[in-house]
Structure 1
């Protein structure tokens, strides 16, 4: 009976592998890597790139998919006004705005491409036939219509009206955010024990959690270490989301934290991914990586209703940002091709002969 109710939830589908309720992240290539989408009841941690621009785009995709699917939305940020993020959501369209047209189609053994042996067994496309695409397509060059945003259930949290302290967190903003999320879940009847007339999903988006704007005030610092606020919040949020029809996506500037703190945050989350942009690094001018804008690392995958999580193995991924689309692809480096003339010039010679003589001629 529970599965029958879950099938009626808009913007969701049941996984054929483990029966888990899935919803789209808004990025089809990311859904394919995650096994079909984001499991409902999980917390997704996105390690921001240095400037935080690409992670913010992933968050916009996630929020836009919720509005198009008639999901309730909870958006929180202390760095910028959350309403500005909503106003910049991409517009929904009917088909892929920029399909992969530069990938050659191979048919027949006579036209088979000669590529390096290490790439022969790798997939040439992220899309998988085993997973049904449950999301929508978006155009990053256009913004979502104002009417669609106004007709949606959106809750904005800025953390500006925080006065009371907290015994759990050194910064009371974390405690206030948890209370607001719990209130939204209770008010919208998203808990598993609730029986609303129309079941829906709550999407929680938190932008740049743990940034310098989240540092506690000097007056509120006490015996609790402020560096533990971040992983403690993720742990509490995970317990809250697990008991509800909700999914949370958090972007964190992890370059500001020590490796030990980062490991605790990843351990407290269900899914963790990292974006490493090429901009501002020595890889920015690398010709072999000119088609991409950064590396994409899937550091942790959720293991729900399963003995082991799906793992992509040793395959490397990269992301690219076009004018209308953000996509994640398998990293394919170009083959090291040299002209025959240049190869012949580099052939070694034996003895003391000149370059124009035979290899065995003295």
Structure 2
């Protein structure tokens, strides 16, 4: 036996195995020839084969590629009118009514969502909510007078006269003004205030611990994080100066819904192009009222495609656009096909149901000494926004009540008032010789 090195040639012929795909061996694929000079490599260009479907032969330039579709840019947190939702963290704007923000579960109306306010009876409480919704956007602009780049309001179907009735900001009662003046004086730095502030803080902490007021203090601190997000409005006052054309746009109705939607879309594009962080509030008051909408515009052949187009705009600008609509349901009942379809196309629905005459008289008698507690109707929640694709179907009937107070629109939990016409038995003298039971003087506090 003899041993040879691997590199040594036997009988003068190199020992090369026939490996498919390498030079000297058969081709792995019939019809293809290996690339000369590079063992085992197939040529990049195959005769008779075209480009793969969906791929272009042209080389793409380096850098990010622009899409042909119009995509809404991300919202900027520098906008004082935007705050993340407490549920989904989606950018949210205030409706201008703090109680309405709470029952919508997001502390406001999320951007890209719509709100439908239905109302029974001949009242017009829904218009108050829409005016607060519009006035909130105007006030967000006026916080920064130099830029006016926070919000823009678009009103459909009404004239410029509607802007003259927007509510003004609530400045507080005389007692609140005195408290604000005292607080501003206390904030001034001097020797006496510094000595008093430590004692006051210690006393406040003891009171909060004793009576469980810590939660209230925490809620007040959270509200101070973005104090300009929501304002309280005084419905007896008017917003002055009246909003200008740079702050509010009025679009008249058209028999062609495509032309109407095109005008709205062009206005949105113009406002976002000027300021990319601006939010757009689309307001449609008194939908389907005959004095505003002629019969041709009240038909389902016009209204359903119109709302489909508005929904498409909301999805096209999810970081800038929100919509609020008011609708009377006495002329168009909820059981009708048109209203059922509109409810399916919007993201959230609430129903204002004013009390009948008998209930109103009962409440007035029950609260005759406290007129501020008199409520005017129920607030029924039918759908909540964003929690599902077409809104979360939820029903809360008879749980909340609203009252249009002297200064603001309030929503609170509903409870049937108790009318007590009789006087307390312990304070009423006996007429038949019956002596009332004597009240105990023993302290029963724990």
> Offset of 1:88 from its aligned partner?
0.6
The corresponding residue for 1:180 is: 263
TM-score using structure 1 length: 0.69
Relative to structure 1, is the Cα distance of residues 277 and 256 closer, same or farther in structure 2, using a 3 angstrom cutoff? same
Q: 1:296 aligns with which of 379, 382, 394?
A: 379
The corresponding residue for 2:128 is: 57
2:159 counterpart of 1:82? yes
The corresponding residue for 2:282 is: 204
2:117 counterpart of 1:46? yes
2:90 counterpart of 1:20? yes
2:273 counterpart of 1:153? no
2:382, 2:396 within 8 Å by CA — same for their partners in 1?
no
2:118, 2:352 within 8 Å by CA — same for their partners in 1?
yes
The corresponding residue for 1:137 is: 232
1:18, 1:306 within 8 Å by CA — same for their partners in 2?
no
TM-superposition CA deviations, 1:288-338 (whole Å, max 9, x none): 786111111111101348998496856611111122111111112234666
**Which is further off, 6-15 or 231-240?**
231-240
Count of residue pairs brought into register by the alignment: 299
> Offset of 1:145 from its aligned partner?
0.7
Relative to structure 1, is the Cα distance of residues 180 and 48 closer, same or farther in structure 2, using a 3 angstrom cutoff? farther
Relative to structure 1, is the Cα distance of residues 95 and 137 closer, same or farther in structure 2, using a 3 angstrom cutoff? farther
1:74, 1:156 within 8 Å by CA — same for their partners in 2?
yes
2:113, 2:386 within 8 Å by CA — same for their partners in 1?
no
The corresponding residue for 2:325 is: 250
Q: Distance in 2 between matches of 1:282 and 1:43?
A: 34
Q: Distance in 2 between matches of 1:90 and 1:335?
A: 34
Q: Distance in 1 between matches of 2:117 and 2:391?
A: 21
The corresponding residue for 2:363 is: 287
Tell me the SS of whatever aligns to 2:76. Answer: helix
Runs of 5+ consecutive residues of structure 1 not aligned to the other structure = 100-106, 112-124, 163-171, 343-355, 357-362
The corresponding residue for 2:153 is: 73
Q: Distance in 2 between matches of 1:287 and 1:209?
A: 31
2:284, 2:324 within 8 Å by CA — same for their partners in 1?
yes
Relative to structure 1, is the Cα distance of residues 6 and 144 closer, same or farther in structure 2, using a 3 angstrom cutoff? same
Q: Distance in 2 between matches of 1:12 and 1:76?
A: 23
TM-superposition CA deviations, 1:242-293 (whole Å, max 9, x none): 22111111111222224133222111110111111236x4433233786111
Task: Write out aligned runs for 1:263-342 (5 A).
Answer: 263-278=340-355, 281-287=357-363, 291-304=374-387, 309=392, 316-335=399-418
Relative to structure 1, is the Cα distance of residues 10 and 130 closer, same or farther in structure 2, using a 3 angstrom cutoff? closer
**Which is further off, 310-319 or 324-333?**
310-319
Q: Distance in 2 between matches of 1:229 and 1:181?
A: 16
Q: Distance in 1 between matches of 2:250 and 2:403?
A: 30
2:120, 2:354 within 8 Å by CA — same for their partners in 1?
yes
Q: Distance in 2 between matches of 1:17 and 1:135?
A: 18
> Offset of 1:94 from its aligned partner?
5.0
The corresponding residue for 1:104 is: none
Relative to structure 1, is the Cα distance of residues 341 and 274 closer, same or farther in structure 2, using a 3 angstrom cutoff? same
For the aligned residue pairs, the C-alpha RMSD in angstroms reads: 4.1
Higher gyration radius (CA): 2
TM-superposition CA deviations, 1:21-54 (whole Å, max 9, x none): 1100000111111121011111111113433421
